[in-house]
Structure 1
Amino acid sequence: MSPVDFVPEAVLFDMDGLMLDSERAIIDCWREAAIDLQVEVDDDLWFRMIGMHEKDYVPLMLRTMHEDQVRALREACYVRYHQRIEDGIPLHAYVRDVLADLQARAVPRAVVTSTQRLRADRKLATSGIASFFEIVVTGSDVTEPKPAPEGYLKAAAALGVDPARCVVFEDSAFGVRAALAAGMTPIQVPDLIEPDDATRALGHRIVADLAEAYALIR
């Protein structure tokens, strides 16, 4: 895997699945909610929803269940997930090490997430990494979420950095496509879902963990 061929002027991070081990947490909450409400759901649905904005995953749910079931599932899931957030969602490996090193090197850092503002800020706070970031762009701050580039372009503008000089760490195909559309250099660290052939055909770097990703820009 070839290193990035420029010195990044900023590093932008996805949040869920990349830094926080939240994808497993939210899937567990969806499963528990479905069991409690006695709604039969194919487990594949929860995995297909990973990385999706609410405006995209709700129509997906409505293909296989009634609107009242979707509403009840969301409410039951969010009660559980809120408690997980308050307890502090665990970090993935090497997150704090990478953030601390970037901070020590005075490399600007931002979060770009599809999660809504209040929940995103709370996740970062309870997981103990909020102070590492100058800028946080959330789903509340954009008109078009990932895979649209709007969030990443807003982060680069807020940091005063040319998008072409930004490296993005992402776990999902949605995020990779957003970063590429913004003219940035993505490095993908897959979490629960391995990149499919269409994602690999994008030609970006794909690594096993955040330490490997960081080594490509050191």
Structure 2
Amino acid sequence: MAGVAPLPFAPAAVVFDMDGLMLDSERAINACMARAARELGHDLPDSLWLAMVGKGEAVCRSMLAERVGAEAAEQLLAHSGALYDAVAAAGIDHRPGIVELLQWLVARGIPRAVATSTRRPLALSKLEAAGLRGYFDAICTSSDVARPKPAPDVYLLAAGKLGVEPARCLVLEDSPTGVRAALAAGMTPVQVPDMLAPDEEVRALGHRIVASLAEAQRLLEARLAEQA
């Protein structure tokens, strides 16, 4: 955590991304997309799946359509979706440190929300299967807002559901798209990168970047200790 600036305030709420931040789902999604592409006879590079990380469904559909055409893109998404639904129903692995962090926040009475680009039915089922749904006071999804990340809509909705001003919310995100959404909402993001390492453009956003959820928790612990 060396070189990471202390938090500027003690957060009144913490808002969590889901895929790649709490759940190790980005790897599962990518694997299902790659498998679906192979089974449908498309030769697509792994870099395409990485480029989709953190993007909303409409953006991913457009990226695929540019490669294989609109009809084939729909077929690929439907096939990969069926593969992924089976994986999600079985319960996706947690990212390291998520349960410890959530329990720590619960013990201190700090409100918690989810703000995800996933559609509501799938988001709820994934959180339920992973045993995480009960930790949250609000769950906000792409089904609930007009614009997906990097627009701020889902984060502003989460702040409203919690009754906390956006400027008093800490956001935990893994993707650059989510970081931009949090910044646009006037919140303070801490990025915990998963599959995408931050490049110079992302680092230029000036937010905090840590290596793990455990490090994010230590940032919170240090800030709250100052309040004691």
TM-score bracket, normalised by the shorter chain, equals over 0.9
Q: Percent identity?
A: 49
Deviation at 1:57, TM superposition (A): 1.2
AA in 2 matched with 1:110: A
Deviations 1:151-192 (A, max 9, x none): 111111111111111100000011111111111110000000
In the superposition, the TM-score normalised over structure 2's length comes to 0.94
Structure 2 gaps of 5+ residues are 222-228
Moved over 2 A (4+): none
Partner residue, 1:179: 182
User: Alignment partner for residue 160 of structure 2, among 129, 132, 157?
Assistant: 157
Q: Tell me, what secondary structure is at the counterpart of 1:216?
A: helix
Alignment correspondent of 2:210: 207
Q: Distance in 1 between matches of 2:218 and 2:169?
A: 15
> 2:145 is matched with which residue?
142
Indicate yes or no: 2:118 matched with 1:115: yes
2:61–2:74 CA contact under 8 A, matched in 1: no
Q: Distance in 2 between matches of 1:185 and 1:81?
A: 32
Amino acid aligned to 2:184: A
How well do the aligned residues superpose, as a CA RMSD in angstroms?
0.8
**What is aligned with 1:130?**
133
What is the alpha-carbon distance in structure 2 between the residues aligned to residue 194 and residue 86 of structure 1? 29
Following TM superposition, by how much is the alpha carbon of 1:68 offset from its aligned partner in structure 2, in angstroms? 2.3
Quick check: 1:12 aligned with 2:15? Answer: yes
**AA of the residue aligned to 1:210:** L
Q: Choose from 52, 66, 83 the match for 1:63.
A: 66
TM-score under structure 1 length normalisation: 0.98
Unaligned stretches of 5+ residues in structure 1: none
| Deviation, structure 1 residue 5 | 2.1
In structure 1, the partner of 2:43 is: 40
Residue 2 of structure 1, CA deviation? 2.0
Q: Secondary structure at the match of 1:64?
A: helix
CA distance in 1, matches of 2:14, 2:69: 42
